[in-house]
């Protein structure tokens, strides 16, 4: 420590020191301003993220299938309507099969009764 104290130290003139202080203070103000802007942008980004998520869950970010169908000039049926249609179609296909099976059973019982007589 004693050695350092005894070394000669060169200082810039007072005007230059004042200019250095002025520039450093200006840079600190700029840094503070940038920090505030970043904080505000972060808050806005967080709100935007929440808003985007809310819209996504409400289905507002993309057009619905009905909207797309209208734009493309094609028909659109909602899922419940399609499910009802599919169910009715399946039931109509199953009925003839049930009738055939019952007719086959009747024939088989007739044949058995003729065979036993």
Residue 82 inside a domain? The answer is: yes
Q: Are residues 91 and 58 in the same domain?
A: no
Answer positive or negative: Cα dihedral of 8, 12, 17, 23. Answer: negative
What pLDDT score was predicted for residue 6? 85
Q: Are residues 56 and 17 in the same domain?
A: yes
Q: What percent of the chain has pLDDT over 70?
A: 81
Q: Are residues 56 and 23 in the same domain?
A: yes
Q: Are residues 55 and 93 in the same domain?
A: no
| pLDDT single digits (tens) 93-108 | 877 665 566 666 666 6
Q: Are residues 20 and 45 in the same domain?
A: yes
pLDDT surpasses 60 at 53? yes
Residue 27 inside a domain? The answer is: yes
Q: Are residues 19 and 47 in the same domain?
A: yes
Give the count of domains, the chain: 2
Distances (CA, A) of 46 to 33, 40, 51, 59: 20, 10, 9, 20
Structural domain range at position 55: 13-62
Q: Are residues 19 and 57 in the same domain?
A: yes
């Amino acid at each position: 420590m004693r050695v350092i104290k005894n070394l000669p130290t060169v200082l810039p003139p007072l005007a230059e020191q004042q200019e250095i202080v002025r520039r450093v203070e200006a840079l600190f103000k700029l840094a503070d301003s940038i920090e505030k802007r970043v904080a505000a942008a972060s808050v806005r980004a967080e709100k935007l993220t929440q808003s985007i998520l809310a819209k996504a869950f409400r289905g507002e970010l993309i057009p619905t299938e009905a909207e797309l169908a209208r734009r493309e000039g094609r028909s659109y049926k909602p899922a419940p309507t399609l499910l009802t249609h599919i169910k009715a179609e399946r039931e109509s296909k199953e009925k003839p099969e049930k009738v055939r099976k019952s007719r086959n059973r009747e024939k088989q019982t007739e044949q058995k009764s003729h065979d036993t007589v």
